[in-house]
Amino acid sequence: MSTSRTRPAGRHDRRGPHSVPPQRTRVPRRVRPHHWFAERLLAVLSGQRPVHWMLGHTIGEAYDQLAELAPRTPLRSRGARPVIRMCHGAQPAPGVVEACASIAAGEQVRAMAFRLEQGTDLRWRCAAVELGGERLQAPLPH
């Protein structure tokens, strides 16, 4: 019996009816450190996590900046849970990433900027963080 007789009419491939196409191996995307840190910083600034959660992930004045920003940030307000809308990073020097992120909470949009530095142990740590004000609206056309 030939295989052409077992194929349905109009089927031109030579695979059998129960064969499974080969799966492409999926290489996991490497998580960029600024994306990971943006999520962690947002969790602290929105009150979802305590400031001391970042103790091992900060260096220099960054922890003090977080401790000062966290209690008074408008991201802690009740209402829509803030989310990261976008996050971009640039590497001005080896072992340094300067990043910015936009954070949306309902209709409010805020900017966050932070600097990461890679230690001799190859771990990234936040060295500075700033939180900007509300997004300026473009004037309406007349």
Mean per-residue pLDDT for 1-23?
60
Read off the pLDDT of residues 72-121 as tens digits, 9 standing for 90 and up. Answer: 887 877 778 899 999 999 999 999 999 999 999 888 889 999 999 999 99
* Mean pLDDT value of segment 33-37: 96
**Structure-token pair, residue 133:** 């004000």
Of the listed ranges 8-22, 76-90, 91-105, 122-136, the one predicted with least confidence: 8-22
Q: Is the pTM of this model over 0.85?
A: no
Residue 68 Cα to chain centre, angstroms? 23
Give percent of the chain with pLDDT exceeding 90.
54
Burial of 109 (0-12, 13-18, 19+ CB in 10 A): middle
Is 129's pLDDT higher than 60?
yes
